[in-house]
A = this chain, B = another copy of it.
Amino acid sequence: MAERSDPIIKFGILGCNSVARLCRAISSAPSATLHAIAGHSLDEATSCALGNGFTAKLYGSYEELLGDREVEAVYVPLPTSLHARWAAEAARRGKHVLVEKPPALDAEALGEIIAACEGSGMHATFTFNASPNFLENDVRVKPDLDALGALGDAGWYCIRSILWATDYKLPKTVTALPGIVFNEAGVIMSCGASLHFEDDLVSTFRCSFLSHLTMDIIANGSKGSLHVYDYALPFQETQASYYTNSRAWFLGGLAGWGPAPVEHTVTTDLPQVVLMVEEFCRLVRGIKRDGLKPEAKWPAISMKTQLVLDKVKLSIERGYVPVEVLDG
């Protein structure tokens, strides 16, 4: 958490697409301030600021915002196809970069962003930011903007949560599942895949722009199980629950089995998305003030997520066959 004397990190936002929740989080985070917004045009930036009640400097181009020397950190919620260019450009200008997921269209493009960040001695945090998934006309359904569709958006969370559960170990193979829905432009609206890990761990996921809103994790180990129903964004602002079960077994007689799962509730002082901004600011402070190196964990995790996502696409292209994943 920020202390009184800590510097406030000034954020600039590149693009006005689905920015509302994270911008509000930046406004609310004790360590951050929403300093500037850039749109395609000044009109776009103005209407974004007015529409959301943000008070910030407004720029009519991304270039101009990156030229603002007061901007220390840049949030990039642009369509995915533009991430590589603008995240890398921001990094080259010496900005800390917070990129909306998926960070890139494939692992190669993500590698370019990370290289740009490293070249500048910068830190990149690739993160979760829940946003409405089902808008027919959203950038996420346009092949020239977010060609990965539901896989890059909702699927990113799924893959990341699976990797979180494996302590970021990569699967051996990735197999896309038949039954994928594409829109007329060929963008994925709904898909699923199965990841096969060492030690016989198997996980499946399903992501869709066409289904009712759900965010479930179900993990089942040899000795217990875990259920979470709001893993990407908690139902409530400062509280979230998960459910565990262990040593359940059949009861005698005609009764069923038990025990039933137990609920555990975690409370936080700030909403999850604000805590994420705070964590980003903490990392930036560490670099700025204490001369720490950028934390290697986040780009590494993002690269693994992107690599699995690439293999799902490859398995689809190859007709739903298992595709090997090599840790590169």
A residues within 8 Å of B by Cβ?
21, 24-25, 28, 130-132, 173, 175, 177-179, 181, 190, 192, 194, 196-197, 200-202, 204, 206, 208, 210-214, 216, 218, 220-225, 227, 229-230, 233-237, 245-246, 248-250, 253-261, 271-274, 320-322
Partner of A230, one of B246, B257, B271: B257
Chain B residues with CB below 8 A from A214, complex form: 218, 220, 225, 245, 248
29 contacts between A and B (CB under 8 A): A132-B250, A177-B194, A177-B196, A178-B322, A179-B194, A179-B197, A179-B200, A179-B201, A200-B210, A204-B206, A206-B220, A211-B221, A211-B222, A211-B225, A212-B248, A213-B249, A214-B245, A230-B257, A233-B256, A233-B257, A235-B257, A235-B258, A237-B255, A254-B273, A254-B274, A255-B271, A320-B321, A320-B322, A321-B321
Write the nearest CB–CB distance from A159 to chain B, whole angstroms.
Answer: 16
Could you say how many copies of this chain the assembly holds?
2
Write the nearest CB–CB distance from A102 to chain B, whole angstroms.
Answer: 19
What is the CA–CA distance of A254 and B70 in the complex, to the nearest angstrom? Answer: 26
Chain B residues with CB below 8 A from A212, complex form: 220-225, 245-246, 248
Are A235 and B256 neighbours in the complex by a CB distance under 8 Å? yes
Chain B residues with CB below 8 A from A177, complex form: 175, 194, 196, 202, 204
Write the nearest CB–CB distance from A230 to chain B, whole angstroms.
Answer: 6
Are B233 and A254 neighbours in the complex by a CB distance under 8 Å? no
Known contacts A175-B177, A212-B223, A223-B212; decide if A255 and B236 are in contact (CB<8 Å): yes
